[in-house]
Amino acid sequence: MLSALVMDRFTRLCELETQKIDDQLNQEIGKLAAEMNANGQYRSGAYIMFVQKQYANSLKTRIRATWQAMHRVINNNGEVIQGESREELKTIIRSSIDRALHDLSPRLEAATRDRPQNVSVSLVEAAQDSLQTHELEIDLYVDSVTKKQCIEVSPAEGTSYIFYGAVGAVQTGAHASASIVQNLAQEDRDQIVKAIKLVIEHVESSDQLTNTTKEETIAVANEALEEIGKEKPNNTKLRGFFDILAQTVQTVSAAPGAYTALQNALLALGISI
């Protein structure tokens, strides 16, 4: 079960992100109304269609931000994720979708109240798409962090695990001690930095991401650059950063090269995305 600290920080972060996304939605709807009014198409069928699309995009952006917030808080606080965490995370996403529907659906109805009687508007499809996408993301995330990629040795003196990648050995148990050996060559470090900068470039130029998502993703990328520049980077933090960057860049149709570059560069750290 997620700790009270994690849930508190997650809730506060979501509140801030939701407000930013709402502000962006209001700006887009206001801009759309002005343009349509100038063209004599205000309250037309095209207007109704565009308004529904903006609200659907806003719902999806909210849920994406919710998952990114949860992912970030879990990783930054070192929360232990186990197999039973899967359903808890899915419940959080479902609750977030329900809240988004409860908030946005009446507003969509109000924004399109003068539409013809035979024209309906709904955010159910967008909600279902978000649910399917993020339940899969949660499955992949939990599978990744719980996968046993280690071998056990010396059980009598405590358990020693050898992880394949840039991390050396980690010991657990009553007589355990922990040590981490980072063997990251400068060439590998440069490749990772180059991949992160390529992600930033694609995010900045994308017209598929909201300004809020761009700002958040670039902030995460800069944190990753700062961490990778350290003598002994923290792999746990980096995994969280890179998972967020990978999720975002995969939504940008023009950026498959950035995702592949990031994926290949992270092999030096033993991180797969």
| Domains held by the chain: number | 3
The whole domain housing 249 covers 186-269
Q: Are residues 104 and 116 in the same domain?
A: yes
pLDDT tens digit sequence for 125-177: 999 999 998 898 888 888 877 764 333 334 444 444 444 444 444 444 444 43
Q: Are residues 165 and 243 in the same domain?
A: no
What is the amino acid identity at position 193? V
* Average pLDDT score over residue span 180-185: 53
Q: Are residues 103 and 173 in the same domain?
A: no
Selected residue with higher pLDDT from 249 and 162: 249
Residue 42 DSSP code: T
Least confident of 147-161, 181-195, 197-211: 147-161
pLDDT at residue 103, rounded to an integer: 96
Residues in the chain: 273
pLDDT at residue 91, rounded to an integer: 95
Measured between its terminal Cα atoms, the distance across the chain in Å is 25
pLDDT at residue 272, rounded to an integer: 61
Q: Are residues 9 and 91 in the same domain?
A: yes
pLDDT at residue 254, rounded to an integer: 59
Q: Are residues 12 and 126 in the same domain?
A: yes
Percent of the chain with pLDDT over 90: 25
Least confident of 13-17, 63-67, 188-192, 200-204: 188-192
Q: Are residues 142 and 154 in the same domain?
A: no
Q: Are residues 99 and 139 in the same domain?
A: yes
Q: Are residues 13 and 59 in the same domain?
A: yes
Percent of the chain with pLDDT over 70: 81
Q: Are residues 15 and 75 in the same domain?
A: yes
Q: Are residues 169 and 262 in the same domain?
A: no
Q: Are residues 80 and 174 in the same domain?
A: no
Secondary structure E strands in the chain: 150-153, 159-163, 169-172
CA angle 76, 82, 86 (to 5 degrees): 95
Selected residue with higher pLDDT from 232 and 7: 7
Closest CA to 6 of 64, 83, 69: 69
Specify which residues 152 forms β-bridges with: 161
Q: Are residues 196 and 117 in the same domain?
A: no
C-alpha 156/C-alpha 122 separation (Å) is: 61
pLDDT tens digit sequence for 19-55: 999 998 988 888 887 887 777 766 677 788 888 989 9
